[in-house]
Amino acid sequence: MNLIEIIFSVVIGACLVIIIGGRIVLQIVTKYYEKNPDAASPKCKKCKIRMTAGEGTLYLIPAMFDMQHEESAEYYLNNTKRIYDESQIPKGQRACRMFVFRCPQCDEKVVSVVDFLQNSENGMICGGDIYPYEKFRDFLSS
């Protein structure tokens, strides 16, 4: 083996270790936050204290596997379809869970959208963000 082949092998090996390690860490963090949504709760912009999470609601996203889509309140409001159980998520299709967080002190609310891909073992987080509750009020109440 020449020097270039050795360097190439080391780089490929390092990349594989980083990718596998990253997936393991992501799955551990995902499981923790699914079981403890308040641990990832945002802080109230007014009171600066942690908000508490309400029940999450499931929605299908019209995207498969690693397809990219626009991550915006408008996208989720116009393109998601409510479902009632994870068994309703077709294999390989993306879904999201929307949580309403409320400040226990001033009653301020925000919506957290967690976009994930359901696979055979568990969900893998693909994206998401926090949006003003006012944009989602009618959507979530219907």
CA distance 87 to 62: 16
Domain ranges of the chain: 3-35, 41-141
Q: What is the pLDDT of residue 122?
A: 61
In terms of pTM, does the model score above 0.75? no
| In contact, 61 and 69? CB cutoff 8 Å | yes
| In contact, 39 and 33? CB cutoff 8 Å | yes
| Digit-coded pLDDT (tens) for 61-87 | 988 877 787 889 999 999 999 999 888
Residue 140, judged by CB atoms within 10 A of its CB (0-12, 13-18, 19+), counts as middle
Q: Which two tokens stand for residue 78?
A: 């116009």
Alpha-carbon Rg for the chain, nearest whole angstrom, is 19
CA distance 67 to 20: 21
Parallel/antiparallel/unpaired status of strands 81-83 and 93-102: unpaired
| In contact, 101 and 51? CB cutoff 8 Å | yes
- Quick one: DSSP state of residue 68? -
Provide the residue count of the chain.
142
User: With bands split at pLDDT 50, 70 and 90, how would you rate the model's confidence at 126?
Assistant: confident
| Digit-coded pLDDT (tens) for 93-108 | 888 999 999 999 999 9
CA distance 79 to 136: 13
